[in-house]
Structure 1
Amino acid sequence: MGRGKFKGKPTGRRNFSTPEEMIAGTSARPRTFKQEQAEDEVRDESGEEEESEEEEIERSKGTQGIIETANPNLVRPKNLKAKDADLDKTPELSRREREEIEKQKAHERYMRLQEQGKTEQARKRLERLNLIRQQRAEAAKKREEEKAAKELKKAEARK
């Protein structure tokens, strides 16, 4: 059967430093930041690595110092101080905002052309409207003729 996550107690693997090792600084424990800082101070006093510290400052991780890139994903600070604000510069729009503005402008252009009757849809609509007007005019004409014919029949029937 499985024993679960831990197979044995970890206490058997612990190594404790003796007081003599701690005083001598040769304990089995990993070095801490304070110890490294103390060693750096000792080096500075001896003057061994003053030049290398300047080189470390200039040198940066990876290719950061070699290649200068503009990271589009870099978070820009949102808050600007009044003295740092550039009033002449127009704010850059995001892709979505640009697309939305272009879409609105295209719709406005299309509606203007639609009102002028220059689009295919507007031409078809005007043709249908003219056809309906002709049909209604013909129907009204027929009704008037039928009405006039009925009145003539009634007038002849009375005589």
Structure 2
Amino acid sequence: MSKAKKKSHKGQHRHFTNPEEIAAQMREEANKNTWRETRDSDDSDSDSEDEMQSRKGVEGLIEIENPNRVTHKMKKASELDTTSEAKAPLTRREREEIEKQQARLRYQKLHAEGKTDEARADLARLALIRKQREDAAKKRDEEKKAREAAKAKKK
């Protein structure tokens, strides 16, 4: 049994557009654009009449106010109300995070003033350490003086 191969389109010839054809197409487009611009500038005063006549059926005669129809109007950046976003209620997590930050700041302030238990303990520990260092410094000075006195007696 022989297998029949399906014909593939991969090896077929490719067609490229001539540069002359491309240049001709571009010239035609340029001519159309210039014709449109001249036509639009001539008919600028009759645009509103064309719009009224181009409506289909009774559309031009009757103005209908559809409450479901939404017209999107462009808003300027200066007209946007940024305060409405700030007035939006906070989520529970956001509110808890803000409360946590405020509590931390309050605690740091009280701690700096020495009004918390931890601050009092720290201050007592610091006072003890200062006293020990002062005692050690006095002791070193006394030993230094004693050494100098001993050297003076030897001489």
TM-score by length of 1: 0.45
Higher helix share: 2
TM norm structure 2:
0.46
